[in-house]
Structures are given as C-alpha cells and as structure tokens.
Amino acid sequence: MKMSDVPKKPSISITRYLKIVNQAINYYPEGLEPNKTSQLAHARFKIENQWFTCMDSAYDYGYQFNEGISLMVTLEDQGEIDDYWEKLSTIPEAEQCGWLKDPFGVSLANCP
C-alpha cells in the first residue's frame, strides 16, 4: 500500500513517476465502494529493468513510508544526479549525503 498524508497519494505519485517512465495504471471498477472508479487500484511499472507495484485503497490503514523502505538509483555522473534530484526531491530537510525524499515520503539513494 502506498500511504502518505498527500491526498490521492498513489495516483499522484505514479503519475509523477510515469512522466519519467511510461507504464500502465489500473483503476477500481464499479461496485467496490468506498473506492471510486476514478481512484487508482494498482499500477505496475518498470524503472531501469526493475518492476514496481503500487496500490491504493479508500480505507485508511494508518501506514506511512519511512527509511525502512527506500530505492537506490544508480546514476552515471553529476549531471544525471542533478537531473534526478531536481525531478524527485521535495523535502530538503530530509536530504543529505545522496539521500532524498520525494513528496510521498519515499527515500531514494542517488549513487554515482
């Protein structure tokens, strides 16, 4: 489950990442209330030959991301690091020594 305090959390985060890597999003069908047909059910996407799955639900499970869940991004040079940092970084106080947090609380390690 993708959980955070950001409204429409997984849909927004996946849409943001899909601008970088294009894959598919699946929405809830009718009849699965309280979920809405405009709400992300799950998405499967691939970044650098690694598959990821993101899920959402109208139910509040009370989970938040923390540093126990993180992604490592292997980059070629400082230019590539700067490019990814600009696109993904939004919580400056959480960022140091190559680590950043996206707006949804996911920690990423940028490794040259």
**83-108 tens-digit pLDDT:** 888 888 887 776 777 788 888 888 88
3 phi, psi to nearest 5 deg: -120, 135
Residue 65 pLDDT greater than 90, yes or no: no
Can you give the pTM of this predicted structure? 0.57
Which one, of 9, 41, 44, lies nearest residue 23 by Cα? 44
Categorize the per-residue pLDDT at 110 as very low, low, confident or very high, splitting at 50, 70 and 90. confident
- What ranges in the chain are assigned the alpha helix state H? 9-18, 78-88
User: What pLDDT is recorded for position 51?
Assistant: 83
Q: Which residues contact 59 (CB under 8 A, 6 or more apart)?
A: 34
Query: 105 and 65 in contact (C-beta within 8 Å)?
Result: yes
